[in-house]
Amino acid sequence: MSIDRAINIQIQDKHLGGLNPIACGYEDCEPCHSFGPSIRFFWCIHYVRSGCGTYRINEKEYRVSAGQIFIIPPYIETYYIADEKNPWHYTWICFLTDEPIPNLLNSPVLSIDEAETVFSKMLKCTDFHNGRSEYLAGCLWELWSILQENSTETKSERTIDKALSIIHSEYYRGITTTEVAGRLGLNRSYFSAMFTKETGTPPIKYINNLRIKKAAELMTEYGISPASAAASIGYSDMSNFSNAFKKHFGISPSKYTLKNRANTEI
């Protein structure tokens, strides 16, 4: 189905530290307009201004209505579709971040009253030319503060947030579970058990998956060679990198690159 009204606001990627906006826009969807299933390499947050629809993530479906937010995390397959009779109209923003992720962003759907004002402000970025990225970054920080204020994190969740911040900041040098636990002042076994309970993934597996996914992104999104991608995420041995990559994706780095470049060109 086509879209009644949609705009993708152009944003220069200035690689801003902290919160870096890369796309923004709004869509007034026709009945049953859908997107996906797809996987993104960045965060994408949709605020539903009116109407409703269905959002699917991790094999679960959620009904999302006006005033609610649905959150698309990176590297997770998602699908969403507008209602047949009352299709949604939404504002969205996509961004990259090296900040600790607010606990609430782990929820697929949120209801936060203050969010409406922030998303309305985002659309005013069209008034800016040279400072558009910085303006949207400011809006993102405002949204970030709202998410933090509404958070109900436990002590263990705050610890995991710190761990994730360390991992996402230093994955490229091959940081280990022992190092992360030491930085947090925790016993390795205790930290590993806590991390696994909170995230569903052992820390060593989380770190390795992140490194491989980042390498895949470098090769397909930026055209970097497998050897350079391996070095960029801390692999000094190409054979070890190839084995880890094939274990994760099922194919070699070179075949993965060719396959995804071919899909992009279609």
Please report, for the domain that includes residue 168, its CATH number.
1.10.10.60
Could you say which of 97, 121, 149 is where a domain stops? 149
Residue 44 above 60 pLDDT?
yes
Could you say which of 89, 123, 149 is where a domain stops? 149
Q: Are residues 140 and 162 in the same domain?
A: no
Residue 259 binned pLDDT confidence (cut-offs 50, 70, 90): confident
C-beta separation of 203 from 163 below 8 A: yes
Q: Are residues 180 and 221 in the same domain?
A: yes
Q: Are residues 25 and 137 in the same domain?
A: yes
Q: Are residues 136 and 185 in the same domain?
A: no
Q: Are residues 138 and 159 in the same domain?
A: no
Q: Are residues 219 and 141 in the same domain?
A: no
Residue 154 binned pLDDT confidence (cut-offs 50, 70, 90): low
Across the chain, which distance is largest between two alpha carbons, in Å?
Answer: 56
Q: Are residues 81 and 188 in the same domain?
A: no
Q: Which of 159-163, 186-190, 249-253 has the lowest mean pLDDT?
A: 159-163
Residue 43 binned pLDDT confidence (cut-offs 50, 70, 90): very high
Q: Are residues 170 and 124 in the same domain?
A: no
Domain count, the chain: 2
C-beta separation of 61 from 105 below 8 A: no
Q: For residue 37, say if its preceding peptide bond is cis, omega within 30 degrees of 0.
A: yes
Q: Which pLDDT score is estimated for 152? A: 60
Q: Model's pTM, two decimal places?
A: 0.58
- Distance separating alpha carbons of residues 11 and 35, to the nearest angstrom: 21
- Average pLDDT (229-256) is 92
CATH of the domain at 127: 2.60.120.10
Looking at this protein, which amino acid is placed at residue 216?
Answer: A
C-beta separation of 7 from 126 below 8 A: no
Q: Which pLDDT score is estimated for 3? A: 40
Percent of all residues in the chain with a pLDDT value above 70, rounded to a whole number: 94
Q: Are residues 141 and 162 in the same domain?
A: no
Residue 113 above 70 pLDDT?
yes
Q: Which pLDDT score is estimated for 72? A: 95
Q: Are residues 19 and 73 in the same domain?
A: yes
Q: Are residues 124 and 201 in the same domain?
A: no
For residue 195, what are the domain limits?
A: 155-265
Residue 264 binned pLDDT confidence (cut-offs 50, 70, 90): very low
Could you say which of 149, 177, 208 is where a domain stops? 149
Q: Are residues 195 and 80 in the same domain?
A: no
Rounded to the nearest integer, the mean pLDDT of the chain is 88
